[in-house]
Structure formats: structure tokens, C-alpha cells
Amino acid sequence: MKTYYITTPIYYANGEPHAGHAYTTIAADALARYHRVNGDDVFYLTGVDEHGANIDKTAESKGYSPQEYCDMLAPIFTNLWKRLNISNDIFLRTTSDLHKRGIHKFLTALYESGDVYKGHYEGYYCRPCERFFPDKEIPEDKTCPDHKIPLELVKEENYFFRLSKYQDKLLKLYSDQPDFVYPDSRRNELLNVLESGLEDISISRSSVSWGITLPFDPEHIAYVWIDALPNYITALGYDIDDQKFHSYWPANVHMMAKEITRFHAIIWPAMLMAIGLPLPKQIVAHGWLTKDGEALSKTRGIFIDMDGDIETYGVDAFRYYLLREFSFGNDGDYRPARLHARYNADLANDLGNLLNRVLGLLNKNFDAIPSPTTPGEFDDEIKTLTEETITSLDEHIKAFAFDSALESIWVLIRRVNRYVQQTEVWTLTKPETKPRMGTILYNCLEALRIISVLLSPFIPETSEKIQLQIGLKNFDSDTNWGNLQEGILVSKGEPIFPRVDLKKEEKTETMKPKQAKPKSKKKISENISFSDFQKLDLRIGIIISAEPVEGADRLLKLQVDIGDETRQVVAGIAEHYTSDTLIGQQVVIVVNLEPATIRNVESQGMILAASGESVVLVTPEAEVPLGTEVR
């Protein structure tokens, strides 16, 4: 069996976990689950880094010993991971015996490598970073660029690791293995650092008391990063369990946020080279999250309300949104309004309604899953697309493109929805057409079963719900078409993504009180009579598709379902909306406007929008039946 070892950083335990930690951990979880469902022997590590001056200081300020403080914080992390359905195999604490023993062996080996020496160090130090800035990196204002606080001039006796000796070996590593650091933007950054020359780094502190004592000099405490990085091997039982250690090491992926790649992609491999251990295969870094366009900041109260959003939308919607919305490696802007839109459009509408509809038709017309006896139009297309999706998913996962991975699954989901429409399966109730109906419903359920397997790395709870509703008692992770057995009793089909109460959603909206700036308005028009107004026929419709109009960047071609019929409307909103946020939106449409041809496309009506600097669609405050008159 192939092994797959994936890690998150061990998070620094001087505060509670935030959405950035959750993002790394969810992304790593998706990879771990993907490899597990594909039959690999996976080991997934996360944990907390509990040593160092910062933790000592924070604990003291709160009236605790550092150990007491760490003991309080660790469960806050593990509880969050439980809530987010994280499937880690170990939660490593650097205060654990397992780590302490392993680090002892590691530091001894490092010392014996001959690349450790004692010296004096004087330099500019950032306490939150817990690092000295090399001379050429000290900013002119002597302020940490990440923390915006003045650097301190610190002088002490330290042990050093001869990092400079490894410059050429690291450069060779980067050129032999171009994907050692992913994405390229990070790799290039680090390559610049490497090319401009490395200085030796101090690996101990004599002024710090909370940490691990150097085995070769009890007067010194291991520098917190030197204590932390080897967690990736100590977690495998580096000192005691040779078999386990060698079956998983080297790690396939060290996943992290971009600001700590330098430690992982320069210092860590150099130390491993020194002690003669194999190097991790890949260092993978993602970008930072912002919130509604602003950098997260504790002091300014800009944070992502994980608890609130998980409570409103469920943990899978939160996981889905983070993985679907952001392009991995780049910074991503977390917007509760987008989470809401994705929940409604992708999860409730595309996926939830499909399952519900198919189960509803099946329950109404059959006792159990029928056998696919009567093939017909589109069947092969569904089967082929399902198989293609499995392949493209694998390619996207290998490239850490979670957004494209999920999009490819959604292409399949939307195709199955269209299959239901194209075949008009609900009309095939007569005795002579019923075998065909049974076949179509079988195909839909089989597609949904396979979709649930493909989705399981990303939204595992939903995947299980889908299979339970299909009537499978044990999760069936076989993705071969036709594995679904006939004769299974399906469930009644409760919605897997119930509509989110709009009142709750408003709460999240009001948390960011956006005072719309008064803008220079158009003068109010002349009065019209009431009978003039009554001539307008305004109705509620729902956008069921949105496509670009060829040769017109501003225009979208919308299909709007108004109950009895579907209207095609051309709207100049392409700069403000993407098609996937529009689908599933209820809108107000003028239905008795004379049809017009815009860029060779017929427009049968007009949808209402507030139109100023930006364009915002007018939507009903709560969901209403399609075709409802607006007066």
C-alpha cells in the first residue's frame, strides 16, 4: 500500500486558533481524505507548538504557569478540529514526552554532525516572530514588516547551526526538484534568499526558560523553531518506532501559510541534510485570508466569525466555501455574502435539490432502486462525464487546485440536473415508458453516489448523508459506474441543505455596518399617474442560468423562471456578478416590456437593479413563489 504523510504546521499556542489555521487544516484534511478514499495508507499530523518566550509571557500575564496555559489551549484546538471534521491521525504537542524524546535524539544528532558551534550573537530581534533579522533584511525603520513593531537589539551567547554551508546543496535541491516549493511565486522568493547568501542561524537561547534544554549544554534552551520543525519526525516515533518512522518519512506534503515557508524550505531541509535524513517531498504554501477586503486584525476587530457561519450554514458549507472560493496559493477574501450565495446556489440548489428531486420521483413511482433495463439518449454522456470527472479531479488535486477540483464536480452535478430536464423523466409514468423512467433514475442515483465519493474529501458529512439517503448502509467508495445495486430501499429524502433562515443571514450582514455613502442622485422625475404605474407587470422570478454574451463584456444572458414560463433576459451586470452567484437568486422582472434584440440576442423583459457606482440586484426579502406579482 502506498503511504501518504501530510502535515500542517504545529500552530503556535499563544492564542486561540483563527480562520487562517482552519483554512490550512481543512486543505490538508481534504488531501488526507482524498488519498485515504483512494486506498493510500495516510498519516495526517497537526498539533501545537507550545514552547518559547511568547507563551511564557502570555501565560504569566494571565496568571498561569506556561504548562497550565498550554493545557488550557490545546483542547481549544482539538475541539475546533473535531467541529470542522478534521481527520488527523495525531495531535502533537511539543510538551509531550513523545516530542521531547524525539527532539533530544534530533538535537544530539545535529550536534554530532559537526555543524553546530557556540558563539555570540547580537542582532535585531522580533519577539512575535521569535527570530533575529539577518543584517541585509533589517528594514530601515528597524520595524518588523509582519508585526509592525520595533525590532529589539539583543545580545547573547548562542549555539549556531552552520546554515551557510548548505547554500549550494539547497540551490541544487531547488533546481533538481522544481516543485519542491509550491507555488512558484514562493519558490522564486526563496530562491532569491538562497542566491543572496545564507548566514548561520542561532539554535539556542540562554535568556529563555520555557522550552527544551539542549542535550549537550543544559544552560541553553532550544530556539523555538529548532524545537518545532522536527515535530514532523518526532510525531512518527523517530526515537522509538523505526518501522513507523521509515514507512511514512519523508513526508509527501508540508502544508502551511506562506509566511513560514523560509523555515520549512531552507532551515528544515538543511538540518535534515546535516543529520542524513531524507527531505520532505514538497513544501506547499497558501495565501492569507482577508475579510471583506480588509486584513484580519485582532486589534481592529476584523475577524472571520467561524462559529457564527458554521452555526448558520453548517460545517460542510464552511469547508466548501473556503476550498471552492479561493485559488490556492493566492490570498483570498472571505465574504459572508459569498458564503451565503454559494450555499444557496451550489449546495442547496444544484446538489441538494437534485438529490431531493430524484428521490422524490423514485419514491413516488418505484418501491426500490429500479434496474437500468432501458438505455436511451444522454445516458452514455452522463457515464462518460462521470469518468472524466474522476480523472480531472485527480489532476486538480495534484496541483492543489481545490477550486477547480470542486468546479469539475459541479460541472457533473449540473449536467445531471440537465439530464433530468432533457429527459423530462417525471412525464414517463405510463406503463410503457416506466422502464425508461427507472433507468434514468438509476443513472441519476448512480451519478449521485459517485459524486458523493468524489465530494467526500471536501464535505465528508454531506457525502455520508447522500449515501444514507440513497439507502447504502456502509459508505461505498467504489467509483466504478454500475456498482449501485438495484432493489435498495431509498430514504424519503430530507433536504441535505435546508434553506437558511434569512433573519439569521441578516445578522451576519449587520455585523459589518456598511454606511452607503450618499451619492449624487439623479433628479426625481416628473409625476406619473397611478394608472401609468399599473401598466407595469412586475413579477418574481429565479435565475436558472447565466451566460456571457459573445462580444459584449458587460452583458449576461439570463434565463429567468417566472413560474409558468422561462424568460430570456439580457442584463448589463457582467462586471458586477459572476454566473454562479446569480444562479438561484430570486429577482424582480418586468414581464410586459416589449422584447428587444441586444447584440443579436433576444431579451424578453428586464430585471430590476439599483444602479449607481455599482449595480445591485433587487431581490425579495424572503423567498416567495415564482410569478408572484410585485406592486
Contact residues: Zn ion, CB under 5 A? 126, 128-129, 144, 146-147
Nearer to Zn ion, 147 or 512 (CB): 147
Closest distance to Zn ion from the beta carbon of 149 (Å): 7
Q: Give Cα 294 distance to the centre of its chain.
A: 19
Nearer to Zn ion, 260 or 549 (CB): 260
Q: What is the DSSP letter of 344?
A: I
Nearer to Zn ion, 228 or 555 (CB): 228
Nearer to Zn ion, 98 or 144 (CB): 144
Closest distance to Zn ion from the beta carbon of 195 (Å): 24
Of 474, 465, 422, the closest CA to residue 443 belongs to: 422
If 0-12 CB within 10 Å is exposed, 13-18 middle and 19+ buried, where does residue 475 land? middle
Contacts of 127 (CB under 8 A, 6+ apart): 53, 54, 149, 152
Of 585, 590, 589, the closest CA to residue 545 belongs to: 585
Distance CA 19, CA 465 (A): 26
Tell me if residue 10 falls in helix, strand or coil. Answer: strand
Residue with grid cell 530601515, as numbered in its chain: 140
Closest distance to Zn ion from the beta carbon of 9 (Å): 16
Closest distance to Zn ion from the beta carbon of 127 (Å): 8
Closest distance to Zn ion from the beta carbon of 97 (Å): 31
Nearer to Zn ion, 129 or 289 (CB): 129
Distance CA 292, CA 575 (A): 18
Distance CA 192, CA 125 (A): 22
Please report the DSSP string for 231-292 in residue order: HHHHTTTTTT-HHHHHHHPSPSEEEEEGGGHHIIIIIHHHHHHHHTPPPPS-EEEE--EEET
Q: How far are the Cα atoms of 299, 335, 511, 581, 585 from residue 309, in angstroms, in the given order? A: 21, 11, 12, 18, 20
Nearer to Zn ion, 19 or 129 (CB): 129
Closest distance to Zn ion from the beta carbon of 118 (Å): 26
Closest distance to Zn ion from the beta carbon of 54 (Å): 11
Nearer to Zn ion, 129 or 285 (CB): 129
Contacts of 467 (CB under 8 A, 6+ apart): 449, 452, 475, 476
Closest distance to Zn ion from the beta carbon of 142 (Å): 12
Contacts of 351 (CB under 8 A, 6+ apart): 413, 451, 462, 496, 497
Closest distance to Zn ion from the beta carbon of 162 (Å): 25
Of 381, 409, 341, the closest CA to residue 546 belongs to: 341
Distance CA 253, CA 4 (A): 8
Distance CA 203, CA 502 (A): 54
Closest distance to Zn ion from the beta carbon of 126 (Å): 3
Nearer to Zn ion, 147 or 554 (CB): 147
Nearer to Zn ion, 131 or 567 (CB): 131
Closest distance to Zn ion from the beta carbon of 458 (Å): 34
Nearer to Zn ion, 54 or 439 (CB): 54
Asked whether the beta carbons of 101 and 240 are under 8 A apart, the reply is yes
Nearer to Zn ion, 146 or 311 (CB): 146
Nearer to Zn ion, 129 or 440 (CB): 129
What's the alpha-carbon Rg for the chain, to the nearest Å?
29
Q: What is the dihedral of CA 506, 507, 511, 513, to 10 degrees?
A: 40
Nearer to Zn ion, 144 or 275 (CB): 144
Distance CA 303, CA 296 (A): 5
Closest distance to Zn ion from the beta carbon of 148 (Å): 8
Closest distance to Zn ion from the beta carbon of 13 (Å): 17
List, in sequence order, every residue forming a beta bridge with 87; answer none if it has no partner: none
Q: CA angle at residue 408 from 87 to 251, to 5 degrees?
A: 35
Closest distance to Zn ion from the beta carbon of 41 (Å): 39
Nearer to Zn ion, 150 or 495 (CB): 150
Contacts of 328 (CB under 8 A, 6+ apart): 27, 183, 286, 287, 400, 401, 402, 403
Asked whether the beta carbons of 609 and 615 are under 8 A apart, the reply is yes
